[in-house]
Structure 1
């Protein structure tokens, strides 16, 4: 059975505390990437914007959290091509339980002779920010599509199974780190068809 990478390692959906805390609200909105976060300090105008168009601290935090979430999955996609469970890139946008889950999943694929090919489609949105105004924790809801992101046998390039990927609700906690960066600290992926 062909299983999308969002599907669990071992046949069960990957779940975590965030899955229990937040139910994803799936949208069928435009899958285009949100605008990237700015590199100017929170509340400071960028070189091309006037003070009236500068992002608020909350908007900048939302953009940075969404960028970290997308970055985590992109690093996971790259590592999945060879099931490189030790890739240093995995820690660029993930920490804690999220990083552990990514590494363990890749290790299981490596051990079982599997690699992942293709690319997921992500549609993340910010569900909540804590505290409002100057966020330290942001909850992201997504309806990820793993239809074109599947596992293959590394030895012969054949699909690992015949179970298709599909749309899956994903919830993530993204937290501001002590150095000011944002990283995904936990995430949960629900079964195919949950959004």
Structure 2
């Protein structure tokens, strides 16, 4: 089983066991449009548009921080809290701790094809649901002690649903996510 698959299964188990309400399973497929980086608003951009853009940037930032921490299995990386909070942060840290405990690191990075599925309330969102078709084929686990490939089973394309929420400091952070099996998108 690839490293991403182990993390995905761990996250799914943790989310189903600990989460009273998971992000909605969304049947729609991913969009090929990449999100624009967070920038200052244009005159025609609404508050809802900015919120969606910022939430999507936080979602993608969370996975980038996770991939960076995975290169050393740094489960205590302060970067993880830049874009994740609550259950999302806990699950990322637990996945990295499991790799650290087992002497594994991740080389390579998953790709993401994420888009906003919904935002609530509509005019000034504080909660955004993101759907993503992530491909973990090139993110593999290696033994930290000798650099040998720990598992050559490639990952693949899988659906991820994420919940991103506006925080008290006006930042957007992923608070929950659900990683589905390979082949779900």
SS of equivalent to 1:138: strand
Write out the 4+ residue segments of structure 1 that deviate beyond 6 Å after TM superposition.
Answer: none
Conserved 8 A contact 2:128-2:163: yes
Report the counterpart of residue 160 of structure 2 in structure 1.
Answer: 170
CA distance in 1, matches of 2:99, 2:3: 12
Alpha-carbon distance between aligned partners in 1 of 2:116 and 2:136, rounded to the nearest angstrom: 21
| Alignment match of 2:53 (pick from 35, 54, 63) | 63
Q: What TM-score, normalized to structure 2?
A: 0.89
Aligned residues: CA RMSD = 1.8
In the TM superposition, residue 20 of structure 1 has moved relative to its aligned partner by: 6.2
Query: In the alignment, is the contact (CA less than 8 A) between 1:122 and 1:145 conserved in 2?
Result: yes
Aligned residue number for residue 38 of structure 2: 37
- Taking the aligned partners of 2:175 and 2:56, their CA distance within structure 1 comes to 13
The answer to whether 1:118 aligns with 2:108 is yes
Q: Is the 8 A contact 1:24 1:143 kept in 2?
A: no
Count, aligned residues: 179
Q: 2:24 matched to which residue of 1?
A: 21
CA distance in 2, matches of 1:25, 1:184: 20
In terms of fraction of residues, the more helix-rich structure is 2
Greater relative contact order (Cα < 8 A, sep 6+): 1
Q: Distance in 1 between matches of 2:161 and 2:62?
A: 13
Q: Distance in 2 between matches of 1:111 and 1:103?
A: 12
Larger Rg: 1
Q: C-alpha separation between the residues in 2 aligned to 1:94 and 1:189?
A: 15
Shift of 1:161: 1.5
Deviation for aligned residue 1:33: 3.3
**Within 2, Cα distance between the matches of 1:92 and 1:20?**
21
Structure 1: segments with no counterpart, 5+ residues: 40-45
After TM superposition, the score normalised by the length of structure 1 is 0.85
| In 2, Cα distance between equivalents of 1:8 and 1:135 | 33
